[in-house]
Amino acid sequence: MYFATLLTSPTAPSLDPALVDSLRNAWGGGDADWLAVDEAAEFPLETLPSNQWEVWADLQNMGVDLIILPAKDRRKKMLLADMDSTMIQQECIDELAEEAGVGEHVKDITARAMNGELDFEGALTERVGLLKGLDQSVIGKVLAERITFMPGGKALLATMKANGAYAALVSGGFTAFTAKVAAELGFDENRANTLLVEDGKLNGDVGRPILGREAKVQALKEITTRLGLSHDDVMAVGDGANDLGMLGLAGAGVALHAKPSVAAECDIRINHGDLTALLYIQGYKKSDFAA
């Protein structure tokens, strides 16, 4: 048994009941259940449709995301989330680079690294090197003035935690940012890289070992072992090439507004919804969301 979920952007909900019924009838699905009016609906399926991805592509052009997941163990017991461009709307290193006057150069390196064109560790050390001499106080300024949360994040954390889930934030970014983001959103723990400081200024390097793709996989393995969970109990979410390892290992790996090369390797792709989409695909209704 499977569930097919259709959803749209919460800021412009436009899911047509006729579209839901048409697809349900074409695939021989059960009765549709609306999770949020005009925004998200689901229906059960006995088997996976052979034309799932052709239909997915057509729906993308209509501003609709389609996700099909097994009904068994759909509600996950752990959330493992990337931070940059996932739980926050920015890349923290790009924002620091703007303050350092090297914004465009660093943004280009970031984009190529997240798309899998560059080695993550090498790209990180190169970008951090360009921040050398930046006053440590700039981190607080960037946090206060430049960082905004991805829509739906607070509802996602509050709802999953209210239903007993554990939440971990794992980032190739920096602890100075993950600590604040984790505290504000309600993550149980956070892991990231440490910017090294000398005499109140960034010294152009990060602590070792560098947390990259493999460290995110290791975090998933370590935390599930500690909590007595299986990998299938985990919903992981990210957008960059360094997230692919954990997305592939988790029971549900979500590519959220991801780079095309990343989304292509994931079966769960959210391009129109926000982070509340991760609740809908677990079968939560909007009325179930925790405050």
Catalytic machinery residues: 82, 84
Contact yes or no for 279/42 (Cβ under 8 A): no
Cα–Cα distances in angstroms (integers) from residue 162 to residues 148, 159, 169, 196, 228, in the given order = 24, 5, 17, 36, 19
Please give the backbone phi and psi of residue 31, each rounded to the nearest 5 degrees, phi first.
Answer: -60, 140
For residue 17, what are the CA distances in angstroms to 104, 278, 284? 44, 21, 19
By the 10 Å C-beta count (0-12 exposed, 13-18 middle, 19+ buried), 177 is classed as buried
| Long-range pairs, 253-257, Cβ under 8 A, ≥24 | 254/278, 254/281, 256/86, 256/150, 257/85
Both structure tokens of 274:
């926000």
Residues 138 and 202: their CA atoms lie apart, in Å, by: 10
C-alpha atoms less than 13 angstroms from C-alpha of 105 in its C-beta half-sphere = 12
**3-state SS assignment for residue 15:** coil
